[in-house]
Structure 1
Amino acid sequence: MTTEPTTSFEPGTLVHDLVTDRIGEYRATSGPYAMLRPVGGGREWQADPGSLRPATPEQRLSAGVRAANERAERATWGYPEPSRPPAPVPGCETCAEVDGLRRTAQAASDASAVTDADVLMRRHQRAEHGS
């Protein structure tokens, strides 16, 4: 079943990009392109709006299952959930110092510095605490 091209979608609509044969979440337009994001997150890609079709129920279901499987697979890699900051190890001076940097960045609403502190904390904990 082929549907006629639709040139405008509501943000969040799942669409089928016929050129890449991928299902993506419509985000917005940028110049002559439509911006799509993989279901479940990831790097956006540009698509020709004329090559987009609304995703079928089967395609939406398949993309959702694929995203859930990818999340479950990433969880088995041993990495903590990225949205959860690493907790400092009690009694560790370096952990306390980096935690202080994170708290200072949070107070200043500096999201980039918060992320930097989280990365430093994870690197330190892997190297020094084996976690």
Structure 2
Amino acid sequence: MTAETTRESAPLERGALVYDPAARKVGAYHDRSGPYVLLRPVGGGREWQADPAALRPATPRERLSAGVAAANERTRAAGAVAPDPEDMSRPPLPVRGCATCGELAGLREAARAEYDRSAETDANVLLRQHQRRKHRA
């Protein structure tokens, strides 16, 4: 068995996602180094050496989990914060449990369904006004 095959004897291609049980994580095949293969974390990062005989193809669930973890790390690294409720470029979110908010959000959704952008904007304005009057902390 060469350094470029898994225990199923399928050759690894650069970028192939495999599970390394020793590291307990998914990595993308990068290269080989002596008797080991070099893997990189999904989304980038510091590579590590792995025993090619222990590797197996990553399951769809493991691939998804690794991709989500990479996306979350990118978000944290970018210093993302929750959206500002006063951001006028975003539609206001209804307050849970408030009948008026629910009614206005329903009007907005009905306007969207009818492609009536004017009525949609009106519902957003009314929802913001209501939230300022009734839900301002």
- Residue in 1 aligned with 2:69? 66
Q: Is the 8 A contact 1:18 1:52 kept in 2?
A: yes
Change (3 A) 1:9 1:22: same
CA distance in 1, matches of 2:68, 2:23: 19
Q: 1:19 offset after TM fit, Å?
A: 1.1
Higher helix share: 1
CA distance in 2, matches of 1:4, 1:33: 13
TM-score under structure 1 length normalisation: 0.54
Alignment RMSD, CA only?
Answer: 2.1
Tell me by how many angstroms 1:4 deviates.
4.8
Aligned residue number for residue 42 of structure 1 = 45
SS at match of 2:22: coil
Q: Does 1:11 align with 2:14?
A: yes
TM-superposed CA distance for 1:5, in Å, is 3.9
CA distance in 2, matches of 1:63, 1:50: 21
Paired residues, what number?
76
Report the Cα distance in structure 1 between the residues aligned to 2:77 and 2:9, rounded to whole angstroms. Answer: 35
3-state DSSP of counterpart to 2:43: coil
Match of 1:26 in 2: 29
What is the Cα deviation at residue 28 of structure 1?
Answer: 1.3
Residues 15 and 26 in structure 1, CA contact (< 8 A), matched pair in contact too: yes
**Tell me, which stretches of 5 or more residues in structure 2 are unaligned?**
1-5, 81-137
Q: Which amino acid aligns with 1:28?
A: D
TM-score by length of 2: 0.51
Q: Which has the larger radius of gyration?
A: 2
- 1:84 — aligned with what? none
Mapped to 2, the partners of 1:65 and 1:75 lie a distance apart of 15
CA distance in 1, matches of 2:40, 2:15: 9
